Amino acid sequence: MRPWLGWAFKLSLVGLVVLAVFAVYLDAVVQEKFSGKRWTVPAKVYARPLELFVGQKLAKADFLKELDALGYRREGAVSGPGGVSVAGNAIELYSRGFQFYESAEPSQRVRVRFSGDYVAGLTQAGGGNLAVARLEPLLIGGLYPAHQEDRVLIKIDQVPPYLVETLVAIEDREFFNHFGVSPKGIARAVWINATAGQLRQGGSTLTQQLVKNFYLTNERSLSRKATEAMMAVLLELHYEKKDILEAYLNEVFLGQDGQRAVHGFGLASQYFFSQPLSELKLEQVALLVGMVKGPTYYNPRRNPERALARRNLVLDVLVEQGVVSAEEVAAAKQKPLGITQRGTLADSSFPAFLDLVKRQLREDYQEQDLTEEGLRIFTSFDPIMQLKAESALADTLKRLSGRKGVDQVEAGMVVTSPENGEVQAIIGSRQPRFAGFNRALDAVRPIGSLIKPAIYLTALERPSQYTLTSLLEDKPFSIKGQDGQVWSPQNYDRKAHGTIYLYQGLVNSYNLSTAKLGLELGVPEVLKTMDRLGVEQKWPAYPSMLLGAGGLSPLSVANMYQTLANGGFNTPLRGIRNVLTAEGEPLKRYPFQIQQRFDSGAIYLLQNAMQRTMTEGTGRSVYNQLPRSLALAGKTGTSNDSRDSWFAGFSQDVLAVVWLGRDDNGPTPLTGATGALQVWADFMRKADPLPLDMPVPDNVVRAWVDANTGQGTDPSCPNAVQIPYIRGSQPVAGPACGIQAPVNEVMDWVRGWLD
């Protein structure tokens, strides 16, 4: 008897020591992970914040669309951050505040008054005028690591009312009383499971659930259960309930979004409601807490009935537990689920733009920094412009779908702000929501006549040799190129147009006269101009390059035309403005940089010709859709057999490039004018831009020219037209034609001037 007891004593002593050693080890594990950085957070990518100021061009409908996307609640009277009330043209909202690179934007009550498509008044709640305010930016994506866990970290003091109470009531009633494990809870679970004859309820506390998710694998065994219990006790020993609860709220798995796992209540709130967690109402809280039990089974997007039933069950428990009054719950039960819909701005992905952002970021950061450090990336992406571009493309393709072959046509589109080179929208496919081949960046296709402005710019930079009214010969010719091939260009209409003014060659996109001009200037000179416009290309200096045999991506074309649109100042296109750390500290800026590459006078003359392209040349169908008063400049491009349909053009504040073509490079039924231009025009109609209005450079004069002879004349003479020249290159003014000038001419002139 005695030796047996002795042995037992020794054995249990050994067992205790082993257990103690194991506990010390577990303790180290528990503390190490909990005290360090608990989670890695993927970088978050934001759209541009919407700026508000008096005089801003902004349609009320667009403004409301943005507010909806940001999850603003429509209310009768604004109750707090994230609320908005609409009364006619007056909109009152309570912004949420946000940390930007240059400064923090306060959360404030703002009144916006609209007049037409303009902001006519901006005041604070007190009535004081507000100079400028920013909304918080729309989150448009993230950079996820291989395991694709995403979360928005929250602090315990940011949670909405009832979240903690509801969570405790549903998942672990004894949470605030137990020490990590709950004997009472286990006993109840055992009782329920025994009476039901099956495994209905687990006895896990919130602490145990956290330990399970945070430290352990998904294996189900008794030894793992024991380890879990020990770690839970150890965790409670070292940390306060508040810290454990906060960790739980951030760790818990609440849904799967494709490849991305939605973790924590912070992200779940954004993902399901497009709202910050702190703004959630009782019924929303109840839904999220109810989903903890089975995020897939109770997914409110896939199984709305099930989710609704679960939510209402949770609400009933709250009444039962005395957390909320029966009246409040009855009201909450009447509310719909309130989940944001797929396909709205709030729940859209913009893969083509994110692709551009990622490429830039990968040049500057390690992959690990991007996927783990919670960086905040601020971009120039404009969701309103993007949606307008997408609908312009969809509407136009639908309109053109009667033509044979349009179904196989793919698309790429880039929208930028010409005055600062910021990329606002990108379409990489005719199905813009599908990530895949990004044609805006990667489809390098022959640009056709889009190259012509570079040829004419090269000429106009030599005012002693060329003006807009220099004479060119538009007639057939053949030359033997360096590659030994005989090259005989042809006009699109297969006709020769004889002697024409220089600008007419561009405006009507004549190949013969343009190619001849290019050869006079020299192909290498034209390619040099392309370089200076900001296009990196390694094209051979063959004559065929003069008609656009060289290939570019839509993004590169945007770069080229940006320099033309911005007075000859080149700006590298940018999609990212700046980067903040997870803590809101400034990390990196992508500054606005400019470089003057061309004389502004030469650019002014070229823009004049490119405007004529729109009013009287190959782009004139644009004014079937747009008012004549809207000055625009642009160029069509069509490659051989209509394999590529291009249009590139700009207003004062918007530049857009459209490419249509087939991935297999087959012929399409579309020219630049019948295809890409139609998309472009529809987009411009929706974007409602400011008319092009380049200030007249000091070295430009406007002279009266006889439209028939190209000689200098007087405004009182018949056929007098006004043409800009570089000072000194204008023709000598002719004598006045006296008072007998026909009134019609004058009225035409007045009308032209008023347009």
Partner 1 sequence: MNKWLIPALTASLVLGGCSSVPRGSIPVVDGGSSIGSAQSGTPGGYGNQSAQPQALPEDSGVVVMVPGGGGSSMPIQSFPAGNAPLDTSTSNQPWSAAPPANAQGGYVAPSPSGIPSGGLTMDEQLDGPVLALLTTAQQQQGGGDLNGAASSLERAQRIAPREPQVLYRLAEVRMAQGDAAQAEQFARRGLSYASGRPALQASLWNLIAQARERQGDAAGAAQAREQARVSL
- Residues 110-129 touching partner 1, rule: CB under 8 A, are 116-118, 124, 129
Dist. CA 82–CA 235, nearest whole Å: 37
Q: Which of 21, 190, 696, 707 binds partner 1 (CB under 8 A)?
A: 696
What own/partner pairs with CB < 8 Å and gap ≥ 24 does 297-303 have? Answer: 299/255, 300/272, 300/337, 300/339, 301/272, 301/339, 301/342
Least spacing, CB of residue 403 vs partner 1, in Å:
31
Amino acid at 228: E
Give the phi and the psi of residue 119 in degrees, each rounded to 5.
-85, 120
User: Which listed residue (449, 645, 651, 729) is catalytic?
Assistant: 449
Q: Which of 13, 21, 690, 707 binds partner 1 (CB under 8 A)?
A: 690
User: Which listed residue (165, 171, 525, 745) is catalytic?
Assistant: 171
| Span near partner 1 by CB under 8 A; candidates 104-112, 309-317, 331-339, 390-398 | 104-112
Strands 118-124 vs 109-115: parallel, antiparallel or unpaired: antiparallel
Nearest to 58 by CA among 385, 344, 343, 380: 385
Q: Which of 6, 24, 38, 102 binds partner 1 (CB under 8 A)?
A: 102
Asked if 735 touches partner 1 (CB under 8 A), the answer is no
Give yes or no: 171 in active site.
Answer: yes
> Residues 381-410: x/- map of binding to partner 1 (CB under 8 A)?
------------------------------
What's the first-to-final CA gap in the chain, in angstroms? 115
Asked if 316 touches partner 1 (CB under 8 A), the answer is no
Please list the alpha-helical segments (H only) found in 278-431.
282-291, 304-320, 326-334, 351-364, 367-372, 383-400
Asked if 55 touches partner 1 (CB under 8 A), the answer is yes
Strands 551-552 vs 445-446: parallel, antiparallel or unpaired: antiparallel
Closer to partner 1 by CB, 99 or 344: give it.
Answer: 99
Closer to partner 1 by CB, 130 or 406: give it.
Answer: 130
Note whether 681 and 621 are within 8 A (CB): yes
Closer to partner 1 by CB, 471 or 736: give it.
Answer: 736
∠ CA 550-496-514, rounded to 5° = 35
Q: Which of 193, 312, 321, 615 binds partner 1 (CB under 8 A)?
A: 615
Give the phi and the psi of residue 634 in degrees, each rounded to 5.
-175, 180
Asked if 24 touches partner 1 (CB under 8 A), the answer is no
Asked if 31 touches partner 1 (CB under 8 A), the answer is no
Asked if 419 touches partner 1 (CB under 8 A), the answer is yes
Closer to partner 1 by CB, 180 or 697: give it.
Answer: 697
Least spacing, CB of residue 116 vs partner 1, in Å:
8
Asked if 364 touches partner 1 (CB under 8 A), the answer is no
Asked if 739 touches partner 1 (CB under 8 A), the answer is yes
Asked if 57 touches partner 1 (CB under 8 A), the answer is yes
293 CB neighbour count, 10 Å cutoff: 12
Note whether 117 and 59 are within 8 A (CB): yes
Closer to partner 1 by CB, 312 or 360: give it.
Answer: 360
Least spacing, CB of residue 135 vs partner 1, in Å:
13
Q: Which of 97, 161, 522, 572 binds partner 1 (CB under 8 A)?
A: 97
Q: Which of 40, 56, 148, 699 binds partner 1 (CB under 8 A)?
A: 56
Asked if 158 touches partner 1 (CB under 8 A), the answer is no
Binding residues for partner 1, rule CB under 8 A, total: 78
H helices then E strands: how many in the chain? 23, 32
Asked if 625 touches partner 1 (CB under 8 A), the answer is no
Q: How far from 322 is each of 104, 612, 684, 706, CA to CA, in Å?
A: 41, 76, 58, 91
Dist. CA 692–CA 686, nearest whole Å: 17
- Subset of residues 247 to 266 that bind partner 1, contact rule: CB under 8 A: none
Asked if 89 touches partner 1 (CB under 8 A), the answer is no
Closer to partner 1 by CB, 360 or 420: give it.
Answer: 420
Note whether 378 and 101 are within 8 A (CB): yes
Residue with tokens 């006895």: 203
Can you name the residues that pair with 702 across neighbouring β-strands?
724
Give the phi and the psi of residue 62 in degrees, each rounded to 5.
-65, -40
Asked if 736 touches partner 1 (CB under 8 A), the answer is yes
Closer to partner 1 by CB, 13 or 746: give it.
Answer: 746
640 CB neighbour count, 10 Å cutoff: 12
Q: How far from 213 is each of 183, 237, 453, 482, 631, CA to CA, in Å?
A: 21, 19, 62, 70, 61
Give yes or no: 320 in active site.
Answer: no
Closer to partner 1 by CB, 469 or 491: give it.
Answer: 469
| Span near partner 1 by CB under 8 A; candidates 315-323, 355-363, 413-421, 486-494 | 413-421
| Span near partner 1 by CB under 8 A; candidates 32-40, 286-294, 342-350, 595-603 | 595-603
Q: Which of 420, 537, 621, 699 binds partner 1 (CB under 8 A)?
A: 420
Nearest to 567 by CA among 544, 545, 534, 600: 600
Residue with tokens 């192909």: 523
- Subset of residues 630 to 649 that bind partner 1, contact rule: CB under 8 A: 631
> Residues 440-469: x/- map of binding to partner 1 (CB under 8 A)?
------------------------------
Asked if 593 touches partner 1 (CB under 8 A), the answer is yes
Dist. CA 420–CA 407, nearest whole Å: 36
Strands 43-46 vs 376-379: parallel, antiparallel or unpaired: parallel
Asked if 215 touches partner 1 (CB under 8 A), the answer is no
Q: Which of 1, 4, 5, 103 binds partner 1 (CB under 8 A)?
A: 103
| Span near partner 1 by CB under 8 A; candidates 203-211, 311-319, 469-477, 575-583 | 575-583
Strands 83-87 vs 260-263: parallel, antiparallel or unpaired: unpaired
Least spacing, CB of residue 176 vs partner 1, in Å:
29
| Span near partner 1 by CB under 8 A; candidates 46-54, 232-240, 300-308, 311-319 | 46-54
Q: Which residues of 51-80 are buried (b: 16+ CB within 10 A; e: fewer)?
A: ebebebebebebbebbbbbbbbbebeebee
Closer to partner 1 by CB, 312 or 420: give it.
Answer: 420
Strands 51-52 vs 90-94: parallel, antiparallel or unpaired: unpaired
Residues designated as active site: 171, 449
